[in-house]
Amino acid sequence: MTRYVGEQSAFSNVQPNTTATIDLPVDRRYHVLWIKYKTNANRATIETDILRIKVMLNGIVQWEISPKELFAIYERHGYTFIDGYLPLFFSEPWRRSPAGEDSTGWQLFGNIRTFQIDVEIAPGANAPALECFSQYDRKPGGLGLIRKYTRQQVPVAATGPHTLNNVPGSGSLHGFHCFETTQGDIANVRVKVNDFEVFNADRALAEALIQPAGGKPVAGMFPVAFDATERVADRIDQALAVGNQVTRSEFQLEFEMVVANPFFLVWEFIGPANA
């Protein structure tokens, strides 16, 4: 279906050390929001001036992520940065089929009451300026499954194995990205689900796994990609059916730390909107 392109209403409160906001119409299926920052701002400027993005449906956060993290995830999928633009991909152009690409588009008409973007601007931002353009279509239907991002900081007290059992968010897990304090802090990541090993790789293997489908290694980020094939269906379910009951899958994560530095985890889920 043809995608239309249109400029949205203006952001409000675009000033240093504030949160700019924009309310978007809910009468369409969104594929991409192109947020323009200044004129031809480079990647470093956008990453410095914009601290965090929140995307909300009915006032409930679906995405919470920094531009630096988002650009790194896009780069992992093979996307090349374009000066001045911070895109929010709902439909994902790197997926291996048109149906897979479109499957995570946000069809809001008749499903959602409010759609809002919050942009946290740094205190030191010089003359910030924000515009928003959307790519969308008019295909009817339900909201379906959408991409969701959530992030957390992981404190690390010592070198060697560091374990984590709590997986936040809801839906099925496409993977997660470890953003290190310094390149090489993490040597290996191991993941077990219900005592079954689903991932065990050092950095070289983790980066090799994403490349056959067009992915790229990113400095300072250790990728754990259950969707390394770029197929939307490749994911780990958080819900486990046992008889007539559905329980939450038990995750066990182990990070082999070379240096005892904290790191951020950005989780990628696919599932129903938390709205």
Picking from 11, 26, 237, the residue whose alpha carbon sits closest to that of residue 136 is 26
Q: What angle do CA 19, 20, 21 make, to 5 degrees?
A: 115
Amino acid of residue 151: R
Summarised one tens digit per residue, pLDDT across range 152-189 is: 999 999 999 999 988 887 789 999 999 999 999 999 99
Q: Which CATH architecture has domain 149-271?
A: Sandwich (2.60)
C-alpha span between 151 and 24 (Å, rounded) = 24
8 A C-beta contact, residue 71 and residue 83: no
**Euclidean distance between the first and the last CA atom of the chain, given in angstroms as a whole number:** 27
C-alpha span between 13 and 20 (Å, rounded) = 5
Q: Does domain 4-144 have CATH number 2.60.120.730?
A: yes
Query: CATH 2.60.120.730 spans which residues of the chain?
Result: 4-144, 149-271
Summarised one tens digit per residue, pLDDT across range 105-117 is: 999 998 899 999 9
Taking all residues of the chain, what is their mean pLDDT, rounded to a whole number?
A: 93
Mean pLDDT of 45-64: 97
Max CA pair span of the chain: 59
41 pLDDT above the threshold of 70: yes
Summarised one tens digit per residue, pLDDT across range 237-256 is: 887 555 555 467 789 999 99
